[in-house]
């Protein structure tokens, strides 16, 4: 179940009908504990259990449970997507174990969808939350996302602490798998946008160009009609680790023509790729022409498909 963006008026302000949680800056997963094993699945349904070996400890504390939550990595006490991005793409068990020691992560659980063999999807959020609160988090492996009664207080606190935002959840809402529901409403303090990569340009500077290295990405986002539209190019935030992830994601995807109309100035010297890779960008708004203002790359979203991308 996914949240819809808050309207101009903001999240609903009715603590009797709505509950409020922190919007965590992480990777959404379902953690399925059953018969002594833990299977983690991303939003795309991909099995990411090997990527996060520390969550195997969930099976030691709970016999049968299906948790919905976010995997987060902390930097200076605040969830950092950039720190998490270094772990999201690791598949090898040995490398994942080393990464877990270098960059520990925590599962912040905010919903429970099955407990002791009983499906809870048709229960209200309030009932599911009470079931979640009765579970005991197992050490550092997972925590329960706190719930707050006052939207304005939480909005102010999360902004002051540099957190991503707030999610309001209607207390009587059932869980609707895979649906973007108005029963969950999100407000982000920072302007973030998932984008589809449609090409890249080499590193440029001082009159030279290194065409073998990725210097900037050409980005697109679906419009209201679902068709991709060019939203600009981004190179800020692109470091060596992200370039390595991008090369792996884009390998073998070269095409002769871009999937969208790209202005000549942006297309000059570019290599075009099939629109299959998603990245996340922080930006300062949009120009009248729809381009992102001052986009900064945050990382490759291997947990998202292009079909998951929506204009935020």
pTM: 0.79
**Structure token pair of residue 21:** 């949680």
pLDDT mean for each 10 residues of the chain (312 residues): 87 91 93 92 91 89 91 85 83 88 92 95 97 79 91 93 92 94 92 94 67 89 90 91 90 92 92 95 89 91 89 84
So what's the pLDDT on residue 82?
80
What is the structure's pLDDT at 127? 97
Query: Do 25-144 and 192-308 share a fold?
Result: no
Give bridge partners of residue 18 from the DSSP assignment.
Answer: 170
Q: Shortest CA distance to 67 belongs to which of 125, 156, 142, 154?
A: 142
Spell out the alpha helix ranges (H) of 67-165. 81-88, 93-102, 125-134, 151-160
pLDDT tens-place string over residues 55-80: 988 888 788 999 999 999 987 778 88
**Residue 114 and residue 121: Cα distance in Å, rounded?**
8
185 CB-side CA count, 13 A: 19
Q: Any residues with CB less than 8 A from the CB of 41 and at least 6 apart, and which? A: 29, 30, 32, 47, 48
Which pLDDT value is given to residue 209?
58
For residue 5, what are the β-bridge partners? 186
Rounded Cα distance between 109 and 124, Å, is: 17
Dist. CA 302–CA 25, nearest whole Å: 15
Span 146-179, pLDDT tens digits: 999 999 999 999 999 888 899 999 999 999 998 9
Beta strand 142-144 pairing with 105-115: parallel
What number of other Cβ atoms are within 10 A of residue 26's Cβ?
Answer: 23
Report H helices in 201-287: 240-250, 264-267
Domain boundaries, the chain: 1-21+146-189, 25-144, 192-308
Indicate the class that CATH gives domain 192-308. mainly beta
* Strands 165-170, 118-119: pairing kind: unpaired
Q: Both ends of the chain: CA-CA distance in Å?
A: 17
C-alpha to C-alpha distance for 30 and 39, rounded to whole angstroms: 8
At 60 the pLDDT is: 82
Tell the burial category of 160 from Cβ atoms under 10 Å away from its Cβ (0-12, 13-18, 19+): exposed
Distance CA 236, CA 216 (A): 8
For residue 192 the two structure tokens come to 């973030």
Q: What is the topology classification, in CATH, of domain 1-21+146-189?
A: Dna Ligase; domain 1 (3.30.1490)
Q: Give the DSSP letter string of 161-199.
A: TT--EEEEEETTPPP-TT-EEEEEEEEESS-EEEEEEEE
- Cα separation, 290 vs 38, whole angstroms: 43
Q: C-alpha distances in angstroms, 263 versus 216, 232, 269? A: 15, 9, 12
Return the structure tokens found at 295: 């986009």
Which pair of structure tokens corresponds to residue 159?
């902004």
Segment (H or E) for 281: strand 278-282
> Would you say how long the chain is, in residues?
312
CATH 3.40.395.10 fits 25-144, yes or no: no
3-class SS at 5? strand
| Catalytic positions | 23
């Amino acid at each position: 179940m996914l949240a819809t963006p808050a309207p101009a008026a903001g999240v609903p302000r009715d603590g009797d009908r709505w509950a409020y949680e922190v919007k965590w800056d992480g990777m959404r997963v379902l953690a399925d504990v059953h018969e002594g094993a833990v299977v983690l699945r991303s939003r795309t349904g991909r099995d990411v259990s090997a990527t996060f070996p520390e969550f195997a400890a969930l099976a030691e504390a709970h016999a049968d449970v299906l948790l919905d939550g976010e995997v987060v990595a902390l930097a200076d006490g605040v969830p950092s997507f950039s720190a998490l991005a270094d772990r999201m793409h690791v598949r090898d068990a040995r490398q994942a174990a080393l990464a877990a020691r270098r960059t520990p992560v925590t599962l912040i659980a905010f919903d429970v969808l099955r407990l002791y063999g009983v499906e809870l999807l048709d229960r209200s959020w309030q009932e599911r939350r009470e079931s979640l609160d009765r579970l005991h988090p197992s050490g550092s492996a997972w925590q329960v996302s706190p719930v707050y009664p006052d939207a304005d207080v939480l909005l102010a606190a999360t902004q002051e602490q540099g957190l991503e935002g707030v999610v309001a959840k209607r207390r009587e809402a059932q869980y609707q798998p895979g649906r973007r529901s108005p029963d969950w409403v999100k407000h982000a303090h920072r302007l973030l946008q998932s984008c589809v990569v449609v090409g890249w340009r080499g590193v440029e500077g001082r009159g030279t160009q290194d065409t073998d290295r990725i210097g900037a990405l050409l980005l697109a986002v679906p419009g209201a009609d679902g068709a991709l539209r060019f939203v600009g190019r981004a190179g800020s935030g692109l470091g060596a680790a992200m370039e390595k992830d991008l090369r792996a994601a884009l390998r073998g995807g070269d095409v002769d023509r871009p999937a969208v109309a790209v202005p000549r100035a942006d297309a000059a010297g570019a290599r075009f790729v099939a629109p299959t890779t998603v990245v996340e960008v922080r930006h300062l708004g949009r120009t009248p022409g729809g381009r992102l203002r001052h986009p900064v790359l945050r990382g490759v979203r291997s947990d998202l498909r292009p079909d998951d991308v929506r204009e935020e």
